[in-house]
Amino acid sequence: MKRVLIISPYFPPVNAADMQRVRMSLPYFGQFDWAAEIVMVDEHYTDLPQDELLLQSLPPDIVVHKVKALHKKYTSRVGLGSLALRSLRFYRKKVDKLLSAGGYDLVYFSTTQFPICALGPRWKKKFGVPYVIDMQDPWHSTYYQDKPKTQQPPKYWFSYRLNKYLEPVAVKKVGGLIAVSQKYIDTLKQRYPRISDVPSATITFGSFEPDMEIALKNADQFPALLDSNTINIVYVGRGGMDLHKAIEPVFKAFKSGMDEDADLGRIRFYFIGTSYAPAGMGEQTIMPLADQYGITDYVVETTDRISYYHALFTLTQANALFIPGSDDPQYTASKIYPYLMTGKPVLAIFNPDSPAIPVLKAYGVNCTFDYESVAQSALIAFLKDLAAGKTAPPTYNTQEIKKHSAKQMAAEQCRIFDAVVEK
């Protein structure tokens, strides 16, 4: 059996979006002749929320190596908060030691803490071990270049230049690429022609049924977030101005629909966990849009993030779910499959070029629209049916469900691993 060393700075019990692919794939790697080990940053060096229930989803025999990091309470004084940069030298030392002992066939970076990936060329040169990078988000992106400073992420000036420098360092020697969007791969291969023939694949996040079982089994641990006396449409995930184009048509339809049907006033929109800031310090980005449309009393935005299984359980308590997409055409929502596992009616609105649209339509999510052509009448009809209790549970394409299972996603990752090692 071949061995892969997976670099995932965030890992359970830390509740971070970018470790979900690895977590869901671990139970299946062995079926495809790959033994996986994890190298994570010790959870005591991170300030993200932790969810001990995530540990229940891991194979009991998984080998996890932990590295240290510089304490953020000290580095933040000089404006350095990135976990990747704080742990970089500890990763180098730890993985050097592991690889020098031999026995590993591949290094797999699956993280959005991209500066860590710059260690890949070192390990390839020094130990002869190839590496694969999983692009869950764009690394060096020009998306915010023409945006006002108020819409740019914190420390954007520094991160933009750091990413512009480090991306070519890591990518030019990469053995293979995995991405959630084909556009991420196309951009990199156009930017760096020397990697044009490396093995690559677009692999979305999969549906992992044990997660729903864990969420429901532990339901008594989760505080209720929804008003049981209202009809609740729920979104759990990050906020941001880039989601406004997807949310605006819904708010507009809701406002217009209430003029026609008073029953729509029973509907509440919940946006939960919209900020990555520490608890109590997040800035609302959805409520200003609700204020603009005069529907403040019908919208609830909670910036504090909740645990992964609390989020899953909350989705099961909703009457319907809403997935708004970014105005960035490369964006694909990683949360699609947990939403679909709930069996709740789903309303999804994305950029017309988003790769999420064909996936959702193939799955059988009928209320999937792009924000440029969505008809107000269709949105009003969805809201009226929901308010009247006429929305039937969805029936999804069983072949698509199988195609996008976590097991199948693990199989596709292993095919890339095999291709890189053979090459």
The pLDDT tens digits of the residues spanning 244-262 come to 999 999 999 999 999 888 8
> Which tens digit of pLDDT belongs to each residue from 74-131?
776 666 778 999 999 999 999 999 999 989 999 999 999 999 999 999 999 999 999 9
Beta-carbon-side half-sphere exposure of residue 309 (alpha carbons within 13 Å): 25
Question: Considering all CA atoms of the chain, what is the largest pairwise distance in Å, rounded to the nearest integer?
Answer: 71
Compute how many other C-beta atoms are within 10 angstroms of the C-beta atom of residue 49. 18
CA-nearest of 356, 325, 323 to 183 is: 356
Provide the 3-class DSSP secondary structure of residue 209. Answer: helix
Which tokens in the block code for residue 325?
Answer: 């997409």
Cβ-Cβ contacts under 8 Å for 73 (sequence gap 6 or more)? none
pLDDT value for 199: 97
DSSP state of 327: S
pLDDT value for 388: 92
Instruction: Give the C-alpha separation, 393 to 166, whole Å.
Output: 47
pLDDT value for 348: 95
Mean pLDDT by 10 residues, the chain (423 residues): 97 94 97 98 92 96 96 71 92 98 96 96 97 91 70 69 85 95 92 95 90 95 96 95 96 93 94 89 95 97 94 96 89 77 93 88 90 94 93 82 88 98 92
DSSP state of 143: T
N residues, the chain: 423
> By the 8 A CB rule, do 98 and 65 touch?
yes
pLDDT value for 157: 61
pLDDT value for 91: 98
DSSP state of 130: -
Which contiguous run of DSSP H or E holds residue 231? strand 231-236
pTM of the model: 0.87
> By the 8 A CB rule, do 88 and 116 touch?
yes
DSSP strand E in 97-186: where? 106-110, 131-135, 176-179
Instruction: Give the C-alpha separation, 122 to 119, whole Å.
Output: 5
Instruction: Give the C-alpha separation, 415 to 32, whole Å.
Output: 9
pLDDT value for 376: 94
DSSP 272-301: ES---SPTT----SSHHHHHHTT-GGGEEE
Which tokens in the block code for residue 272?
Answer: 């939960």
Instruction: Give the C-alpha separation, 287 to 285, whole Å.
Output: 6
Query: Strand 176-179 to strand 368-370: parallel, antiparallel, or no bridges (unpaired)?
Result: unpaired
pLDDT value for 145: 67
pLDDT value for 149: 72
